[in-house]
Amino acid sequence: MESKRTVAVFGAYGHTGRFVVAELLERGFTPVLSGRDADKLKALAAAHPGLDARPASTDDPASLDRALADADVVVNCAGPFATTAAPLIEAALRAGIPYVDVAAEIEANADTFAHFGARARDAGTLIVPAMAFFGGLGDLLATAALGDDTVADEAHIAYGLSGWHPTAGTRVAGEVSRGRRGGRRVRYTNGRLEYHGDDLTTLKWPFPDPLGPRPVIGEFTMADVVTLPSHLSIPEVRTYMSVEAAGDLSAPDTPAPVAADEHGRSAQTFLVDVVVRRGDDERHVAARGRDIYAVTAPLVVEAVDRILTGRTRTVGVASAGAAFHAAEFLGALAPHISLETHP
């Protein structure tokens, strides 16, 4: 039987998309390059002779169908996902292929679960939103920490980023999300998303050494508040962001990421510290690595490989922790992410 190795990448010329294309090639897949900007797509194709480039627009279903023709899976790297996710998922359903995206937008991910779960289950296919640093990694870590358990009282995910030089796509997605919320903030409490106008607070998070205790912004809410509760019974999910990174993100003049090595990664480092608590039992796991955009690529491509080789646990819309065996998945990321447990 011929192996399935063709992966359509929508937004292939974007900052994260380029990392995904490179990782696919490194692992022996055949990317099909797609996106809305024909000129950028042409330039990317020139850098990768032999790869097929197929311009497509989310408001032109026929163009999306052409982009996905003969592909085995589609990866959506093009935000804002509030406008791109639904058209690409519809196209994937028409093509009868799985869909993966890297959305960090809370509402866009919630929409995917709400609107496509039943249809994907009926079609016997898999849709994995937020298969990225935000939403995917934290979900895998929390799921692995729980082991065979699926119930906890609280989950806390603290992001110790050395800094955050946001891409243009990150900034646009943030503007879209703020617009959808009417300027309000969001938290996950009492088993549901709650919108509020409370001020952000600063507290100290006890990151493991050598980072150590650092100030973080409390309730700096990320996509984990959608992915974790989608399959784990945890009524309280909190996420935190290092003060340095939050400041970079909010400053309008913070430049975009700059390559600092031969792989195009920036010098940014991260430590994601996860704590899940049930009664008096606390479980801790942490992940270290470099460049939140670059590390999304091995997360995505590992997911693609497991989907196409049948190493999945469900169909429908599923987060990373529900779709895959979390501990095994994290173990496969060893060249890119180092894991540790701590008291």
- Please check whether residue 1 lies inside any domain of the structure: no
- Please check whether residue 109 lies inside any domain of the structure: yes
Domain count, the chain: 2
Percent of the chain with pLDDT over 70: 99
Q: Which segments within the chain are labelled E, that is strand? A: 6-10, 30-35, 53-55, 73-76, 99-101, 126-128, 154-161, 185-189, 192-196, 201-206, 213-218, 236-242, 269-278, 281-290, 316-317, 338-340
For residue range 155-188, what is the model confidence (pLDDT) as tens digits? 999 999 999 999 999 999 999 999 999 989 999 9
For residue range 7-46, what is the model confidence (pLDDT) as tens digits? 999 999 999 999 999 999 999 999 999 999 999 999 999 9
CA distance 248 to 133: 18
CATH number at residue 272: 3.30.360.10
Given a cut of 90, whether residue 343 has pLDDT beyond it is no
Range of the domain at 154: 134-292+334-340
- Please check whether residue 154 lies inside any domain of the structure: yes
Given a cut of 80, whether residue 340 has pLDDT beyond it is yes
Same domain for 76 and 124 = yes
CATH number at residue 309: 3.40.50.720
Same domain for 313 and 259 = no
- Please check whether residue 77 lies inside any domain of the structure: yes
- Please check whether residue 261 lies inside any domain of the structure: yes
What pLDDT was estimated at residue 4?
Answer: 83
Same domain for 185 and 237 = yes
- Please check whether residue 266 lies inside any domain of the structure: yes
* Pairing label, strands 213-218, 236-242: antiparallel
pTM of the model: 0.97
- Please check whether residue 214 lies inside any domain of the structure: yes
What pLDDT was estimated at residue 342?
Answer: 65
CA distance 29 to 20: 11
Same domain for 25 and 114 = yes
Same domain for 261 and 125 = no
Mean pLDDT of the chain: 96
What pLDDT was estimated at residue 341?
Answer: 85
Same domain for 57 and 151 = no
Given a cut of 80, whether residue 2 has pLDDT beyond it is no
Q: How would you label 196-234 residue by residue, b for 16+ Cβ within 10 Å and e otherwise?
A: eeeeeeeeebebbeebeebebbbbbbbbbbbbbbbbbeb
For residue range 131-141, what is the model confidence (pLDDT) as tens digits? 999 999 999 99
Same domain for 168 and 83 = no
Same domain for 146 and 221 = yes
Same domain for 25 and 151 = no
- Please check whether residue 92 lies inside any domain of the structure: yes
Same domain for 170 and 111 = no
For residue range 43-72, what is the model confidence (pLDDT) as tens digits? 999 999 999 999 999 999 999 999 999 999
227: Cα separation from own chain's centroid: 10
Identify whether 210 is preceded by a cis peptide bond (ω within 30 of 0): yes
Given a cut of 60, whether residue 250 has pLDDT beyond it is yes
**Span 241-258, mean pLDDT?**
97
What pLDDT was estimated at residue 1?
Answer: 36
Same domain for 160 and 60 = no
Helix (H) or strand (E) holding 68: helix 61-68
What pLDDT was estimated at residue 308?
Answer: 97
Same domain for 196 and 306 = no
